[in-house]
Amino acid sequence: MEAQKHAVQRIFGERSSFYTQSVVHKDPEVLARVIKLAAPKLDWSALDVATGTGHTALALAPLVANVTCIDITPQMLEEAENLARKLGISNMRLCRGDIHSLPFADGVFDLVTCRRAAHHFSDITRALREIGRVLKIGGRLVIDDRSVPEDDFVDSCMNMLDNLHDESHVREYRPSEWQHLLESSGCTVDVIQPYTKHLPLTSLTANVSLENTQRIRSIVDGLKCDQRKAMNVVEKDGEVHLNHWFIMLSAHH
């Protein structure tokens, strides 16, 4: 777990400014869907775990009493603090810490959000138990993350590609896995919404070493016809595109 933690801190520390401007992480459509599922109230206390540069927390802040942002990477928190200052957000509290051992008392948050981060958690079961611990009874959890469909080849291939894209990657889970994980952590699942985006191959090779970039391209180039179809690999405007799978989940404690 410690090795994974250090990998996350190193990689995201190096890429923190990228995530501040990331079109994917700022995506207003996806953020709006997260907010809709969260259905926040003005008297709520919210927690955004693995907040990164704070895009989800910043979207929540005007809609709740306060939002606490926690991340293990100090550079990410610095970027989040700068964004909050520029936007005039004053009800955000930044906290450095680990999802696997949250520094909060039991049952203190009405809402916990986690966006594009769970596939980095070294112990997803422990992380979800910690989230359940800090949620109030009846409190809501909303997760948006990378995912894979219920297909063995796509599961294996996409996880391999994402590990090459980001060596702190642990696993992208299938919808059926998420159902089991959440129920096992004591949550009742309300919504499971898989979705896909058809993205250029450069979305996997950006900010990646030359060696890993070559391996990513080699894997995609070597796909057989049926495998290319499963991954929806097509060329558009002279550039290779392929599917990326995501999932949005809502549950209550």
* pLDDT tens for each residue of 178-192: 999 999 999 999 999
Per-residue confidence (pLDDT) for residue 253, from 0 to 100: 87
Sequence spans of domains, the chain:
2-149+168-196+246-252
At residue 191, the 3 state secondary structure works out as strand
At residue 82, the 3 state secondary structure works out as helix
Which residue is listed with tokens 């928190």? 77
Tens of pLDDT, residue by residue over 5-38, are: 454 444 444 444 444 455 555 688 999 999 999 9
Per-residue confidence (pLDDT) for residue 68, from 0 to 100: 98
Tens of pLDDT, residue by residue over 88-119, are: 999 999 999 999 999 999 999 999 999 999 99
Cα 101 to Cα 126: distance, rounded to the nearest angstrom: 8
The three-state DSSP-derived secondary structure of 6-45 is: HHHHHHHHHHHHHHHHCHHHHCHHHHHHHHHHHCCCCCCE
Per-residue confidence (pLDDT) for residue 240, from 0 to 100: 97
CATH of region 2-149+168-196+246-252, choose from 3.30.465.10, 3.40.50.620, 3.40.50.970, 3.40.50.150: 3.40.50.150
